[in-house]
Copies of this chain bind each other. A is one copy, B any other.
């Protein structure tokens, strides 16, 4: 069996195994032995190729992000109008692969890990920015910038929230319902916002401090997905 050129094969097998084991176990507290066993190799080999458990985990989250990114690129290519692109972005994030229990569990585990690992956090920040930025780009074609920023933030939050709620399997919101909820949000805010450009009038009971635009961060480095940027 020992042939030359095994390295890329093993690396991929180990990363895939890690994702699987993490998703299955629902936590990053899995052993190198578990991962190696799942990949059908010895624990020592995993260390040989990745140096440490942390490195293997980092590679695993990179692969998760890479997958999401390439799905997004593909989906955006197919859509023509800004509105259609918004729908495409939403749909990709709830695509079956992303919504698989294992994948959700893995994302969640990485979110938790981000509290400790600076590097993990960096990757998730890239994801969060990218999602917001992609939404923003198309919203700007439909709305004034400040409204677009607000709605991009809201839609991104709703997507993440539906995702995390799904992880509990408490509110069995399915893929289609999640998509529909997010679409409804967009539709409603596009409607009310374009009809009264000042933002939604807050005849609210609570002091809503008006449109939230001015509270949002500005001039943040744009991480828009028009191809070619880090993996």
Name the distance in Å between A86's Cβ and chain B's nearest Cβ.
8
List B contacts of A193 (CB < 8 A). 188
A205 lies within 8 A of B83 (CB): yes
A171 lies within 8 A of B128 (CB): yes
Name the distance in Å between A206's Cβ and chain B's nearest Cβ.
3
Cβ-based interface call for A9 (8 A): no
List B contacts of A121 (CB < 8 A). 168-170
Cβ-based interface call for A181 (8 A): yes
List B contacts of A179 (CB < 8 A). 206, 208-209
Name the distance in Å between A224's Cβ and chain B's nearest Cβ.
15
Interface residues of A in 101-153 (CB under 8 A from B): 105, 108-109, 111-116, 121, 124-125, 128-129, 132, 150, 153
List B contacts of A128 (CB < 8 A). 165, 168, 170-171
| A217-B161 in contact given A26-B115, A180-B212 (Cβ < 8 Å) | no
Interface residue ranges, A against B (CB under 8 Å)? 25-27, 29, 79, 81, 83-84, 86-88, 90-91, 105, 108-109, 111-116, 121, 124-125, 128-129, 132, 150, 153-154, 156-165, 167-174, 176-177, 179-181, 183-185, 187-189, 191-193, 199-206, 208-212, 215-217
